[in-house]
A = this chain, B = another copy of it.
Amino acid sequence: MTNMDKLYDSVAKNGPVCVGLDTEISYLPETDTALTAGENIVAFNRRLIDATKGVAGCYKVQIAYYESLGMDGMLAYQQTLKMARASGLPVIADIKRGDIAKTAEMYAKAHFTGDFEADIVTLAPYMGLDSIVPYLPYCKDQGKGVFVLCRTSNPGRMDFEYQTLSDGRTVYTMVGDALTKLGADYMGERGYSSVGLVIGGTTGEEAAEIRDRYKNTFFLIPGYGAQGGKACDIALYMNKGNGGVVNSSRGILMAWKKQPGVAFDEAAYNECVRMREDIQSECNKL
């Protein structure tokens, strides 16, 4: 069983909320001055994971937040991955690495084994398919998975991703087509490839076309909440409530700010439940 299969089963059981552990020290309601920034973040993440593991489909750890704290942050990253994986839910390392040949092999080793091992990683496609291929032996042999950037949720997606090619396709469609073709040899038991795509949920306009075009592809869907993605749009990118996970980071990590008197972990739990119901109710309407 692949990690993408496990993700499917987890979404079926717990719902499609991907809890984004993009934890910055300023998001914490209080800090212990006897601890480093990284140690404070680990303590926060521990309670957050413990509170949400019954209502989350998976965790996503954004490495940039940890890199920004140097060695202290990298240790916090290692420990956060370990805690998140101990929950039993699939853990996505949001690393967006993209490099070639021997260098890509090194990244694959870095994030699929050892101190920074994750179940699934995010990748960037710009340099071409030889920047993705070195991760595939880990998909084949250990069930690992990748989500490759395709159509993202940021305003800057218009700059390059949305440009039109001479054959009429957009750049993001060219990327999506090539990646799904590559992923066809890595199908799991639940009907989804170990090569998934990052498809932003900030607009519903192209949703039907994208979902139809990439039937056997699991989507990592950012953009809910803070970035303006609405549940009614996001539901269109799912396959009857599965086939995708919907990330929320600040909305969950800082839920305590909108729930006065409620502890941060309980507030995070409440927000996961609210978000899950928001998305599932829209999926049920389709």
Contacts and interface: CB of A to CB of B under 8 A. Distances in A.
> How many copies of this chain does the complex contain?
2
Nearest to A154: B100
A154 B127 contact: yes
A260 interface: no
Interface string A120-160: 00001111111100000000000000000100101111111
A126 B126 CA distance: 6
Interface of A is mostly: helix
A12 interface: no
Contacts of A110: 64, 67-70, 73
A259 interface: no
A67 B111 contact: yes
B154 A107 contact: no
A110 B120 CA distance: 23
Interface residues of A, number: 58
Interface in A164-181: 164-166, 168, 171, 174-175, 178
A160 B75 CA distance: 36
A78 interface: yes
Contacts of A100: 152, 154, 156
A93 to B, nearest CB: 11
Contact of A103 (B62, B131, B166): B62
A121 to B, nearest CB: 12
Nearest to A169: B163
Contacts of A78: 70-71
Given A124-B124, A128-B156, A130-B155, 5 more contacts: A70-B115, A124-B127, A127-B157, A127-B160, A166-B166
